[in-house]
Structure 1
Amino acid sequence: MSNYVFVLDDARRPLSPTSPARARQLLRDGKAAVFRRYPFTIILKRKVPDAEPAPVEVKIDPGSKVTGLALVQGDKVVWGGELTHRGHQIRERLQMRRERRRGRRNKLRYRKPRYRTKAQINNADRKRKKGWLAPSLMHRVETIMTWMDRFRRYAPASSIAMELVRFDLQQMQNPEISGVEYQQGDLAGFEVKEYLLAKWGRECAYCGAEGRPLEVEHIQPRSRGGSNRVSNLTLACEPCNQKKGNRPVEDFLSGRPDLLARIRKQAKQPLRDAASVNSTRWAMFTALKMTGLPVTTGTGGRTKYNRKRMGWAKAHWLDAAAVGNVDALTLRTDKPLLISAKGQGGRQKGVFDKHGQPRRNKAGAAQIRPLKPIHGWRSGDIAKARGLEGRISPRTRGNFELRAAGQKPRSFPPRDFKAIHRNDGYAYQ
């Protein structure tokens, strides 16, 4: 089952998404035309002024590397997607630029001072604004908002549901804050267990066993003064858990000091992915509120609880569909659209030598991606030529290169290419 197809009328007003079979029939009958390839959208050749499409809820499961997207219409999940971010690439490029600039400054004999005197330094001009986020983190918010705008243009979006926090960190750090132990209640157990699975890599902390049921284990037993804080919890397989019992971890690992030190260190460290997601959650929530649509929120523990209750497999887009208060949902698709953020191309007009010095038009250097189109084409456009389909690399002279999935790059003259989807900063699969 493929994703449902977005439908627009002749005035480009969004209608209810339709099934792929119905969309193919409309295209065969000449009643519609392809409006956009990704996400696949058709446009009717007539206006539908009296249409009352069923509202669609946009659900978002933000992640540090991959964000799950889902559209729910009534009790049906009609569209799913997984958006892969490029925050690590942004961080690496900023680091490279920082190193080059530092290298150039160190090699200069004299550098003009930035300010005339120290007394004239205006710290307010260089102070970061309140709510500032690193570019690698802000990228996550901006890409999600880009797709939110697309959903509003192509579907009758009426509300938004997002996973505001992956884990309820305050509740787990101090479970006695409401007088409820972490074992009590279905949702509390899912909240803590999901956090520990992510933190400890889904393996036994003592023997490293993977692919078997894991149990929540107190590093310092409760009977010996241990608490329910996540800094005192880990995961252990049943044999290790039974073997340890209520013994202190120092006695249990008396002959393995390296493992004991590693467990103690890892237990106190926060989950990096959870920290990065939590650092952008309110910026994303505020941006979604600016759309004017009602926004509801949920936690990662509730998301997993809903997904397990409905018997769904682990997937980012299914996690998105399970966000918030969910009674029962029917999947009308099992083939989500895989989206990878690629950027719009660099503005760098020169190449650099090993010393970080710019060398424009250096002999033998790779050609720099141009900012302007070449014969109407840009790098990353998806096109078809002689039965092959893929992304192209235009060249100022000679043939263009076509990179089709699973095949070696091939070159064809520009006249053989037929545009399928113009580069919009994303790759699709």
Structure 2
Amino acid sequence: MAVFVLDRQKRPLMPCSEKRARLMLARGRAVVHKRYPFTIRLKDRVDGETQPLRLGIDPGSRITGLALMRENSEEREVGKRHVLCLFELVHRGFQIREALDQRRAFRRRRRTKNLRHRAPRFDNRTRRDGWLAPSLQHRVDTLSAWVDRLCRLAPITSLSQELVRFDTQKLDNPEISGVEYQQGTLLGYEIREYLLEKWRRECAYCGARNTPLEIEHIEPRRRGGSNRIGNLTLACHDCNQEKSADTLDAFFATARGLKKRLRQHRQSADARYRRVIQQHDRPLRDASAVNTTRWALNRNLKRKGLPVAVGTGGLTKYNRQRLGIPKTHALDAACVGQVEALHGWQVPTLTLRAMGRGSYQRTRLDKFGFPRGTLMRRKQVHGFQTGDMVKAVVPNGKKAGTHVGRVAIRQTGSFNIQTEHGVVQGISYRHCTVIQRGDGYRYHLTPFTHDRGEGRAVA
């Protein structure tokens, strides 16, 4: 993986290899400027020659791929790229949505119980043109911030964005065409009658017949399920009550009453589970998030002052299969647009996981919204703050060794460190050294392996 290089005046130069960076640090010609992504600053050089660099972007709902590539400037080699760095940016949009829903529910409860609360705002507020929900705006802002950060670390000359659009109706029905787009799933049906025909007038879970059936959410609303017709099914009263807010896997694995009813109706649990999975339509929230934010992201990228080339998802897949490149988010970003050849793509991937910058809450809350405990008011303890990347060298004891990761502070001075292999608890601040101040992200370097390259491992 290439190392970013800055000159003496902190202006970006061409990235170099790890070996060359190691030699310059050993000879005293450079100092470490940043750990993640690893950047050095030269002490004896100002300015230098650069080559065309392209940043490829593969926007996603949960994970966005980024690829920094060097392009050949000769006309006969246009379209040939050499991968320098690969990144995967993990968003936290769904966490933001859940936090806003929880805050809304707590406020509603305080108002109905006449507790201390903020007065509700007017319902006739207007929203500016191009307004996006906070969970969607987060994706646009986070990606734009990382494009700016990489432009400060490398002399990027152009951008490539996959401007993908999902046909949500075709995802449900690949054979849809023509006027069928306007007719919809419930043409000629009411919802209950449609579900009765779809599930053969029996409970979807235990197979019970000739019993009152209730409408049930396959993916519970509490866990992000929607009211789409594809997420609805029919269940008997006992199955509906026992499933409650459990996931489908947990319900079939642990529900004792369901197993008893399956034996009574001579039904196979595996067969019923497979049937529900086959009839359950895939959730469209990821596709909707990408469709909603694609043009907002494109406008933000054009404001950077760099030429932006766009490509379709079909072209990206064609390039990847033609060149024999495995499927990952970061490598998809390297295949965006017109690509003739791609070299050096077997490099590690740096995962950038958005963690936020803390919370204003002074207490934890129980499931009823009442305060539970009190949080510390100080942001720092002995010079450390939650989110800092630290290196802890423990000389002896059960936790002896070197631990590097993101720290979570305690007022007692006994910290927790989130390393690549798990959480190490109870590390004294005396053993810790800050290697990079917290910036709202957690970093993890994943070496390239054939398993990961084939798409079986996801960051």
Q: Does 1:368 align with 2:381?
A: no
1:346–1:369 CA contact under 8 A, matched in 2: no
Percent identity between the two aligned chains: 44
**Number of the residue aligned with 1:208:** none
Q: How many equivalent pairs are there?
A: 343
**CA pair 129-28 structure 1, distance change in 2 beyond 3 A:** same
In the alignment, which of 83, 93, 97 is matched to residue 89 of structure 2? 83
In structure 2, C-alpha distance between the alignment counterparts of 1:325 and 1:286, rounded to whole Å: 21
Q: Which string of whole-angstrom CA distances, capped at 9 and with x for unpartnered residues, describes residues 277-299 of structure 1?
A: 01001111111111111111111
Structure 1 residue 273: Cα displacement: 2.0
**CA pair 136-254 structure 1, distance change in 2 beyond 3 A:** closer
Matches within 5 A, 1:212-223: 218=175
**CA pair 136-110 structure 1, distance change in 2 beyond 3 A:** closer
In the alignment, which of 396, 402, 405 is matched to residue 390 of structure 1? 405
**Number of the residue aligned with 1:7:** 5
Structure 1 residue 401: Cα displacement: 3.0
Q: Does 1:139 align with 2:138?
A: yes
**Number of the residue aligned with 2:326:** 313
In the alignment, which of 413, 419, 429 is matched to residue 414 of structure 1? 429
Structure 1 residue 127: Cα displacement: 1.1
SS of alignment partner, residue 157 of structure 1: coil
SS of alignment partner, residue 48 of structure 1: coil
**Match of 1:282, as an amino acid?**
W
1:9–1:44 CA contact under 8 A, matched in 2: yes
Q: How high is the TM-score relative to the length of structure 2?
A: 0.67
In the alignment, which of 309, 332, 338 is matched to residue 325 of structure 1? 338
SS of alignment partner, residue 298 of structure 2: helix
**Number of the residue aligned with 2:15:** 17
In structure 2, C-alpha distance between the alignment counterparts of 1:298 and 1:229, rounded to whole Å: 28
In structure 1, C-alpha distance between the alignment counterparts of 2:175 and 2:320, rounded to whole Å: 27
**CA pair 287-298 structure 1, distance change in 2 beyond 3 A:** same
**Number of the residue aligned with 1:425:** 440
1:69–1:320 CA contact under 8 A, matched in 2: yes
Q: Does 1:95 align with 2:101?
A: yes
User: Any gaps of 5 or more consecutive residues in structure 2?
Assistant: 72-80, 184-197, 205-273, 394-401, 445-459
Matches within 5 A, 1:97-176: 97-108=103-114, 123=124, 126-167=125-166, 169=167
Q: Which string of whole-angstrom CA distances, capped at 9 and with x for unpartnered residues, describes residues 46-86 of structure 1?
A: 2323x121121111000011100001111201110111111
**CA pair 370-80 structure 1, distance change in 2 beyond 3 A:** farther
Structure 1 residue 128: Cα displacement: 1.4
**CA pair 333-41 structure 1, distance change in 2 beyond 3 A:** farther
**Number of the residue aligned with 2:386:** 379
Q: Which string of whole-angstrom CA distances, capped at 9 and with x for unpartnered residues, describes residues 152-200 of structure 1?
A: 1100011111011244x4xx98xxxxxxxxxxxxxxxxxxxxx85xx69
1:342–1:427 CA contact under 8 A, matched in 2: yes
Q: Which string of whole-angstrom CA distances, capped at 9 and with x for unpartnered residues, describes residues 24-64 of structure 1?
A: 12112221111111111111112323x12112111100001
Matches within 5 A, 1:331-342: 331-342=344-355
In structure 2, C-alpha distance between the alignment counterparts of 1:353 and 1:255, rounded to whole Å: 42
**CA pair 275-371 structure 1, distance change in 2 beyond 3 A:** farther
**CA pair 410-270 structure 1, distance change in 2 beyond 3 A:** closer
**Match of 2:379, as an amino acid?**
K
SS of alignment partner, residue 304 of structure 2: coil
Over aligned residues, Cα RMSD in angstroms?
3.4
SS of alignment partner, residue 46 of structure 2: coil
SS of alignment partner, residue 381 of structure 2: coil
SS of alignment partner, residue 165 of structure 1: coil
**Match of 1:23, as an amino acid?**
A
User: Any gaps of 5 or more consecutive residues in structure 1?
Assistant: 116-120, 174-194, 201-216, 220-225, 233-252
In structure 2, C-alpha distance between the alignment counterparts of 1:303 and 1:110, rounded to whole Å: 54
Structure 1 residue 337: Cα displacement: 0.5
In the alignment, which of 60, 67, 87 is matched to residue 64 of structure 2? 67
1:79–1:333 CA contact under 8 A, matched in 2: no
**CA pair 61-407 structure 1, distance change in 2 beyond 3 A:** closer
